Structure formats: C-alpha cells, structure tokens
C-alpha cells in the first residue's frame, strides 16, 4: 500500500511547514486528489492515522477533495471536462488533447494552531 508512504511524506511536509510557522499543532490538512493520481482516497484516509501518530498532525482532520479531469484540445483549443478513460475534447470530440488537471495530489491548505 503506497498510500502509507505518501502519508508519511505528507506528514514530513506538513510538520516542516508547521515548525516554520511556530505552530504547536496541525488542526486540518486539505488535499486535492485527482482520479488519475494513482491514489485511492479511502486508503489514504486509512493510512493517515498510522503516519501521523506522535507528530504535530496526530489529531488533525484530513480532508480529501476530488479534482476534476480537464483537458485542453490541441485542435480547437477548448478546455473541457473529461472522463478517466476518455480524454476527449468536450467541444469538438478530438482525441488530441493535453491533460490540464486530474492527476494531481496537492497539499491545498493547512490549519495550524500558533501559540500567542
């Protein structure tokens, strides 16, 4: 389960950010995960408590928001939504598209407790 190693890397990143800001704890972590990221959000949620134990983020809420799949057409230039198995232009139907979003795993936001 590579989600555990992803959570461990996430906790390292979050802990570093929290320390840079003098935080005493992390309250909420918000991630954006695309369907093409190769990550199963449910497994990420299950692995999180194991990775966070004993860290500043131990009691933090992990919020995972889905990202939509978007492509840009190389023929007509339109940017449209697409499905995982059909990365076609929604405007002209062309298959010559470039993925704009949908494969990301982004740390979008942190909520920290910073003592006075």
56-93 pLDDT per residue, tens:
999 999 999 999 999 999 999 999 999 999 999 999 99
5-29 pLDDT per residue, tens:
999 999 999 999 999 999 999 999 9
What CA–CA distances, in Å, run from 37 to 55, 59, 67, 108?
26, 26, 10, 15
pTM of the predicted model as reported, rounded to 2 decimal places: 0.88
What is the model's pLDDT at position 1? 56
DSSP output for 26-68: EEEEEEEE-TTSS--HHHHHHHHHHHHTTSTTTTPEEEEEEPP
- 115 CB-near residues (< 8 Å, 6+ apart): 22, 24
């Amino acid at each position: 389960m590579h989600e555990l190693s992803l959570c461990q890397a996430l906790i390292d990143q979050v802990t570093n950010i929290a320390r840079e800001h003098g935080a005493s704890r992390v309250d909420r972590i918000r991630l954006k995960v695309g369907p093409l990221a190769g990550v199963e959000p449910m497994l990420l949620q299950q692995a999180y408590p194991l990775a966070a134990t004993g860290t500043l983020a131990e009691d933090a809420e992990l919020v995972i928001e889905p990202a939509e799949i978007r492509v840009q057409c190389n023929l007509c230039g339109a940017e449209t939504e697409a499905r995982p198995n059909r990365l076609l232009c929604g405007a002209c139907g062309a298959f010559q598209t470039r993925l704009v979003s949908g494969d990301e795993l982004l740390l979008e936001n942190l909520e920290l407790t910073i003592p006075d």
